[in-house]
Amino acid sequence: MALEAYVPSHIEFDTRPVEEVFVVTLYDADGPQPRGSMTTPHAPMQGSRGALTFVGRRDGKEWQVEVEDVSVTNRTALGCEYAIEGAIRRTVLREFGAGTGPHVKGLEERFDIR
């Protein structure tokens, strides 16, 4: 089973923003029975249905992910689980390069604590 975990910066469920989302996970997104979960204290109610759209980071890239239709199957104090009914569109917004910033010396060199 393929697993995609995103750390979102913005998320909407049924065109309404969802606050304090820590992780959005898609399970077997391209498989026969895709599903997902969202870790947040402000999860949509069980039985809710709508589009899920978010911008999040995964694998050194920032993605925009649009899911046409999801239905919330379970809600807990930690978030919710949902079944994916519609198509999933993923768009890379930007890539974060490794090592492009200035080198920072280690603590032992900066503070001479060797």
pTM of the model: 0.80
- pLDDT number for residue 19: 94
Tell me the pLDDT tens digit for each residue of 17-26: 999 999 999 9
Q: Write phi, then psi, for 77 (nearest 5 degrees).
A: -65, -20
- pLDDT number for residue 106: 52
Residue 110 above 70 pLDDT?
no
Q: Which of 112, 4, 1 is nearest to 56 (CA)?
A: 4
Max intra-chain CA distance, the chain: 59
- pLDDT number for residue 96: 84
Q: Contact, 55 vs 18, CB < 8 A?
A: no
- pLDDT number for residue 2: 87
Tell me the pLDDT tens digit for each residue of 15-67: 999 999 999 999 999 999 999 999 999 999 999 999 999 999 999 999 999 99
> In terms of residue numbers, what domain contains 85?
3-110
- pLDDT number for residue 97: 73
Cα–Cα distance for residue pair 71/83, rounded to 1 Å:
5
**Per-residue CA distances from 69 to 27, 91, 109 (Å):** 15, 17, 53
